[in-house]
Structure 1
Amino acid sequence: GRIDGIPINDVEAIVNAGIEPRTVVENAARAFFNQVFRDGFFHGDLHPGNLFVLEGGAIGAVDFGIMGRVDKRTRRSLGEMLLAFLTRDYRRAAEVHFEAGWVPREKSVDAFTQACRSIAEPILDKPQHEISIGRLLGQLFQVTETFAMETQPQLLLLQKTMLTAEGVSRRLYPDTNMWVLARPLIEDWMRANLGPEARLADTFQGLAQAAERLPRVMEDLEIGARRLAEGRLTLDPETVRLLRDGEDKPRTPVVLWIVVAILAAVFVYNLMN
């Protein structure tokens, strides 16, 4: 297909078409938010050459060669983290990193909270239209290397995309900030996806998926039990050594617990996968 629009960096042409630049920035913020949080599938190359303003201020994009994905769990963690930074709740911003598994649990939450504060304060103290969440995340990723933070390639792509999108919106309408516009969207999304009803729905969905897997799990358990009875289930060499070392002791309880452990492991693995 073909897009009939105005290049997003041609502010004069946009104004001459009777379109308010602020409206374009609002639509761009909403579109970017929906891609990342609602869909978990975002355009990873949002430079001005790939963006056009359509009739009414809608946004059209081309060149989908670079796309990023964010799973639901990561979206929730990302939303919590962004909202914590926007509300200057640095303790919560730090805790999200630990809960998501991005920072090892043995690291200090207090130290990481202070790191979040030292990074965010200089950025968030700027006038609203100069605040850059993309720059904040970029500095956060650099500092968190000292905390052995696990690299998240999709978040790195998202951070670079944020910087580009922020630059486009700033050139288009310097007096506003796409994150100020997106904050209500983030808050609404968080309520819908992290509230009690959402968590209850996730629980029921998880139970339903587990129930669907039960027939396969029971079949695998039966196969495992049959192989064990026929002597075709190979034990780890260390387990064999422990059994041999304990030949002078009553073995029935040991063997029984080994059987239980094996069957339980098979059950849990298949139920979770």
Structure 2
Amino acid sequence: MDPLGLRKSVRHLNRYQEILKTFVKYGFWDVVEKIRTGLVFDISQKIWPHMKKKELAVLGTPVRLRMAFEELGPTFIKLGQMLSLRPDLIPPPIAQELTKLQDEVAPVSFAKLKPLLEEIYADDFWKIFAEFDETALAAASIAQVYRAKLKNGEEVAVKILRPNIHQIIETDLEILFNLAELMAKYVPESELYDPVGVVTEFSRTIRREQNLVIEGRNIEIFRRHLQKENYIKIPLVYWEYSSEKVLVTEFVHGFKISDLSALDNAQIDRKKVAENGARAILQQIFELGLFHADPHPGNLFVLPGNVIAPVDFGMIGRIDEEMKEDLLEIMQGIVNKDARQITRVLLNIELIEDQVNFRNFEHDLLDYLDRYYGVPLKQLNAAQLLNEFMELVRNYRIKLPPDMVMMGKALAISEAVGRQLYPEFNMFDLLIPYTKKMFYQRWNPAYRYRLLSRMWQSSSDLLKSLPEDIRNLLVKFRKDQFTVRFQHQGLDHLTRELDRSSNRISFALIIAALIIGSSMLIQLDTVPFLWGYPALGIIGYLLASILGFWLIIAILRSG
């Protein structure tokens, strides 16, 4: 049987060692020590000298993790940014620290991007662009953005994927999957964070970001639904010049939302901008069902007239009708201070595992609701509410849908940006009207009709398939083909230990056999001789000594 990840480990050996060395360098030797038994190469001797650094002694785990991600490059920076949006998976201090990861890197020279542009546009490049500024406006880990002008005089932003980025990311993803599997196998406490699930979700996100057509479609959806709104500006996509590796959009002339002095100089109404930013994210969530999942200040510009102009639509979230219905049930439970209703909703959508102590969960949830029930809106802080709720979620191992978590995080970021613009801004002043509107919509005849139609369709499909399913089940019974599968839980560790112990016993028996056989050979005067004794006996002793020493070292290393 091939050892776990043998081909993967050997194929990218240098990158494996670079990653593991970096984590040890920043003080994560305990995790590396646990997973290295599943690797096909021994890295301990090479990276041990880097384990302790005095300058890291005063730094906490969140800072050291962020520094390790920064050093490891684009894939890990993107992973850290995604984790910063998932406070349901990681503690708030780590999530907060990972928000500091800046997706800004030194730009690749334009000369290295020219072959890609020539491949896509061939000889039409200068027929399309009248001007093209070869200095990058922004350089991120996956793509770079340039300013250009079309032949018709329109200014555009040209986003181009970095050279070989696909191969770089795929290599790191392959390694991350293998390391996640090793963590799940050898680090029991990592079960709380679901490393394999995190890497699976991350791989889907980052692969989508490498296809700029997907980002262009996202922009188009937002533009189609919001183009009549006068408070938000969504850029136009030039599809005739765009592809999977190049995205050409309308250039946005505006001020960064974080540049407060520039906003003041332009006589921008900061309070209105804060309200428009919050209104934008709320309308996306509750009306469009598609929202910008990373509305941090670097992705938001402000145009004259207090208009919000979001950019970078690579990371989006979706809220479908079913999830909206679940959210409404949860909100109703919050309003009525009904912890049991909230628990029932979470159970119905299979977010709570059977092992959870429901009585304790409802008690802690009620305690959480009591702390904020009746508190004036101006005293509420969305980020604080979210962090405390996510702590409750983590403690009881509740796995919320990623889009639901990103929605909460997007609202918290939007409130933080709003308060930076206008300290007295409160997200709840705008959130409550939207939730009331959703509650009223539940009793709208058209909405009830759609809901009943879906229920009728589901019931009809079930009734249609039920006779056939019962027939197939009875046929399996009759032909003795009906099987029941049992899946054990919690025995993996015991199985590994028993397997390890049996291997050591077998190894010890081989060593004992070598010693006994060599002793018998020593008693015989058989040629050839070595140092006056039969050579085969001496060789047997040496081999037994080497194997015995190896066995002792293995036992000491693994405890």
TM superposition score category, shorter chain reference: 0.5 to 0.7
TM-score by length of 1: 0.67
- Matched residue SS, 2:481: coil
Q: Distance in 2 between matches of 1:16 and 1:127?
A: 34
The SS at the match of 2:406 is helix
Larger relative contact order, structure 1 or 2 (CA cutoff 8 Å, min sep 6): 1
Choose from 305, 310, 314 the match for 1:65. 314
Do residues 112 (structure 1) and 380 (structure 2) align? no
Residue among 102, 106, 122 paired with 2:351: 102
SS at match of 1:102: coil
Structure 2 CA distance for partners of 1:125 and 1:189, relative to 1, 3 Å: closer
Distance 1:21 1:93, change over 3 A: farther
Q: Do structure 1's residue 32 and structure 2's residue 281 form an aligned pair?
A: yes
Pick aligned residue for 1:48 from 291, 294, 297: 297
Structure 2 residues without counterparts, runs of 5 or longer: 1-249, 485-559
Counterpart mapping for 1:6-17 below 5 A: 6-17=255-266
What residue ranges of structure 1 are gaps of 5+ in the alignment?
A: 239-273
Shift of 1:50: 0.5
Query: Which residue of 2 is the match for residue 23 of structure 1?
Result: 272
The DSSP-based 3-state class of the residue aligned with 1:56 is coil
Distance 1:53 1:126, change over 3 A: farther
More divergent stretch after superposition (171-180 vs 22-31): 22-31
Deviations 1:106-140 (Å, cap 9, x if unpaired)?
85665434322433454567764452234323322
Question: Given residue 412 of structure 2, which amino acid in structure 1 is its aligned partner?
Answer: L
Alignment correspondent of 2:413: 164
Corresponding residue to 2:404 among 148, 155, 163: 155
Distance in 2 of aligned mates of 1:26 and 1:83 = 25
The Cα offsets for residues 223-273 of structure 1, whole Å up to 9 and x where unpaired, read as x78xx6xx9x883157xxxxxxxxxxxxxxxxxxxxxxxxxxxxxxxxxxx
Equivalent pairs, count: 231
Given that 2:278 and 2:415 are in contact with CA atoms closer than 8 Å, whether structure 1 keeps it comes out as: no
Out of 97-106 and 61-70, give the one that drifted further: 97-106
Kindly provide the amino acid, as one letter, of the partner of residue 409 in structure 2.
K
Q: Structure 1 residue 95: deviation in Å?
A: 4.4
Q: 1:80–1:190: 8 Å Cα contact kept in structure 2?
A: no
Q: CA deviation at 1:62?
A: 0.6
Distance 1:198 1:103 in 2: 29
TM-score using structure 2 length: 0.36
Change (3 A) 1:5 1:193: farther
Identity of aligned residues (%): 25
1:89 matched to 2:337? The reply is yes
Relative to structure 1, is the Cα distance of residues 108 and 209 closer, same or farther in structure 2, using a 3 angstrom cutoff? Answer: closer
Q: Give the direction of change, closer, same or farther, for the CA distance of 1:24–1:194 in structure 2 (3 Å limit).
A: farther
Specify the structure having the higher radius of gyration (Cα): 2
Q: Judging changes above 3 Å, is the alpha-carbon distance between structure 1 residues 124 and 70 closer, same or farther for their aligned structure 2 residues?
A: same
Distance 1:180 1:234 in 2: 64
Which structure is higher in helix share? 1
Deviation at 1:72, TM superposition (A): 1.9
Residues 351 and 399 of structure 2 are in contact (CA less than 8 Å); yes or no, is this contact kept in structure 1? yes
Structure 2 residue 324 is matched with structure 1 residue 75: yes
Aligned-pair distance for 1:169? 0.8
- CA gap of 1:58–1:76, structure 2 versus 1, over 3 A, is farther
Alpha carbons 1:123, 1:132 under 8 Å: kept: no
